[in-house]
Amino acid sequence: MEISKGFRSLVAEAEEQIQSLSTQEASDKCEQEGVLLIDLRDIREVKREGKICDSLHIPRGMLEFWVDPDSPYYRKEFDSVDEVVLYCNKGWRSALAAQSLMSMGLEKVSHISGGMEQWLADGREIDAPPEKSIVSINT
């Protein structure tokens, strides 16, 4: 299988069209009324690594459906949202997702450059993953 454009090109093109935020800018923005921080990572990533405090987890594959009021999957969390800030692990999925939401007509959408990896590298706080319970088997 041959492709004419790889994911790095797609992400680079998206980043030319969207607003990328530093972790500090994202933190400041998310303290404002009407701003929703969305974690696009796979549920396994969230369970393994935790998530940024007060973020809403939306699997990447469901984002457009959860945002669209005409979708049967629409989530009421968006009723009072004026702006969304997206993040994933490295900032790749969130860049593409921000571009997709902009093509749906959302004007106030951005993503965290570098994603969760950058958030952690900058020493920012997260909600830790739940502790796994250890089950012992008596023999």
Express each pLDDT in 19-75 by its tens digit: 999 999 999 999 999 999 999 999 999 999 999 999 999 999 999 999 999 999 999
Query: Please, are residues 99 and 74 in contact by the beta-carbon 8 Å criterion?
Result: no
What is the number of domains present in the chain? Answer: 1
In a domain, 11, yes or no: no
- State which residues form the domain around 55: 17-125
In a domain, 1, yes or no: no
The CATH number for 22's domain is: 3.40.250.10
Tell me what pLDDT residue 77 has.
Answer: 92
In a domain, 2, yes or no: no
In a domain, 101, yes or no: yes
In a domain, 6, yes or no: no
Tell me what pLDDT residue 128 has.
Answer: 85
pLDDT band, very low/low/confident/very high, at 129 (cuts 50, 70, 90): confident
Query: Please, are residues 111 and 74 in contact by the beta-carbon 8 Å criterion?
Result: no
Residue 96 tokens read as 């593409």
pTM over 0.75: yes
